[in-house]
Amino acid sequence: MTKIHPSAVVDPKAELAEDVEVGPGAVVGPNVQIGAGSIIGAHAVLDGHLSMGEGNRVYPHAVLGTEPQDIKYRNEPTRLEFGNHNLIREFVTVHRGTPQGAGVTRICSNVFLMAYAHIAHDNVVEDFVVVANSAQIAGHVFLGEHAVVGGCTAIHQFVRIGQHAFIGGGSVVVMDVPPFCRATGNRAKLHGLNGIGLSRRGYSKDDLKALRTAYRLAFQSDLLIGEATDRIEQEITCVCPQAALLTEFLRTSKRGVTR
């Protein structure tokens, strides 16, 4: 049975699964869909064309699905989409997309957005991403699965953060950060492989050895990026198929790659 606190404001047109809980003072707009087992905390605001899967937890004062901070936006019917089992902590803000982007901001599943984090319009946040306290993510950013963004980090618009990358706290990221890598600083620079994170994800010692070799070829040799990616594809992907994520990322970068 749906549990809606008497002081909550839930539009009659909103679609809530039967076991959703909505806390005191929360506001749920008419175009919002909330999946089974989700909990909306006190004074949270869910607005706009927003869909949310199952088992999500939205903590007090989070604001989700409001208009993007884009002066070109003219109230077009863009969207914000959440997958399943996400944790959205206090005062997090996530804005819906813009027509100039994909028209949608997408938060996939098992994502952890810590207090005061901001996710701007047209972003894609893949599964198992962690964004720590007060991180500020500009528009059109891609965060690959299992990426970790440290607290108080700022990420420039159109930047891509690759799978399993780790961004140290307080960084300013203005170029793409490749998969598997650690980056930190203002402006962010690479500091080797994210070995601890990869070990936790089940990567073997042989995989880590192969990826370290790929890292040295791409970022610590005299090879051009194109030459390095060719070498990695020829010599490393045969023993560590995951290295193909790195070469694909390097070949498709538009902003340039953090070094």
- Domains of the chain, earliest start first: 3-195 (2.160.10.10), 198-252 (1.20.1180.10)
Is the distance from CB of 109 to CB of 80 less than 8 angstroms? no
Identify the bridge partners of residue 87 per DSSP, sorted by sequence position.
57, 112
Check residue 102 and give its pLDDT. Answer: 86
Q: Both tokens of residue 17? A: 């699964």
Is the distance from CB of 32 to CB of 50 less than 8 angstroms? yes
Query: Mean per-residue pLDDT for 213-226?
Result: 96
**Half-sphere exposure (Cβ direction) of 62: Cα atoms closer than 13 Å:** 28
Is the distance from CB of 5 to CB of 22 less than 8 angstroms? yes
**Band (197; pLDDT cuts 50, 70, 90):** very high
Active-site annotation, residues: 121-122, 139
Cα–Cα distance, 69 to 72 (Å, whole number): 9
Check residue 3 and give its pLDDT. Answer: 95
Model confidence pLDDT, tens digit, residues 90-146: 999 999 999 999 899 999 999 999 999 999 999 999 999 999 999 999 999 999 999
Check residue 1 and give its pLDDT. Answer: 80
CA-closest candidate to residue 157, choices 170, 176, 131, 171: 176
Model confidence at 37: pLDDT above 90: yes
pTM of the model: 0.96
Model confidence pLDDT, tens digit, residues 58-77: 999 999 999 999 999 999 99
Backbone angles phi, psi at 155, to 5 degrees: -120, 125
187: preceding bond cis by omega (within 30 degrees) = yes
